Amino acid sequence: MDKVCVGIIAGAFGVKGHVRIKSFCADPLAIFEYPLTNEGGHRDFNATLVQPVKNGFAAQVRGVNTKEEADALNGTQLFAERSELPDPEEDEYYYADLIGLPVFDTGGGPLGKVKLVVNHGAGDMLEIHAVGAKNTVALPFTKACVPTVDIAGKRIVADPPEGLFD
């Protein structure tokens, strides 16, 4: 994947056209070090930090001068070129690298494919579209439940809790 989602615009901040940005970077301030675009790459979001705010930052985006223009950007995902980002440390992964990977149990049987990686505050979860199932399964993304992530080999080995995939 050439682009990685590094943040999202979470609405307007104030009345001067500032936006609220939620950073997904390990170092939240690092989001301001990258040239940012939307997913398609056809709009630049060169953001300048205005001030830290609760759960993110207030920022000025070039060309956004009113609260209404800032409000219109609410929910816009911000992407950086993969080549601009640092390589992840050992046992660290970009969510984008995990999405779509097939998941196997420790015996080699297929469990499904990663649909999303989510974090609702209690830790990362792999949302897996299970083989033969209509609904997805939420697997804790811990070393105990996911002992092997092989990005180069394009596969994940999981040891799910008993009954999770039944």
- The answer to whether residue 151 is domain-embedded is yes
How crowded is residue 3: how many other Cβ atoms within 10 Å of its Cβ?
Answer: 20
Which of 60, 83, 106 is the last residue before a domain boundary?
A: 83
Domain count, the chain: 2
Do 66 and 102 lie in a common domain? Answer: no
pLDDT by residue (tens digit) across 33-73? Answer: 999 999 888 899 989 999 999 989 999 999 999 999 999 99
Do 15 and 63 lie in a common domain? Answer: yes
Which of 61, 83, 105 is the last residue before a domain boundary?
A: 83
Is residue 18 scored above 60 in pLDDT?
A: yes
- The answer to whether residue 152 is domain-embedded is yes
Count of alpha carbons within 13 Å of 115, Cβ hemisphere only?
Answer: 13
Do 24 and 69 lie in a common domain? Answer: yes
Provide the mean pLDDT of the chain. 92
With CA atoms as reference, report the closest residue to 145 among 116, 111, 95: 111
Sign of CA dihedral 11, 118, 83, 143: positive
Do 79 and 106 lie in a common domain? Answer: no
Q: What is the mean pLDDT of residues 94-115?
A: 94
What's the CATH number where 117 sits?
Answer: 2.30.30.240
pLDDT by residue (tens digit) across 2-14? Answer: 889 999 999 999 9
Look at strands 155-158 and 102-105 and give their pairing: parallel
Is residue 1 scored above 80 in pLDDT?
A: no
Which of 63, 83, 103 is the last residue before a domain boundary?
A: 83
Range of the domain at 75: 3-83
Give the pLDDT score at 73: 96
Is residue 96 scored above 90 in pLDDT?
A: no
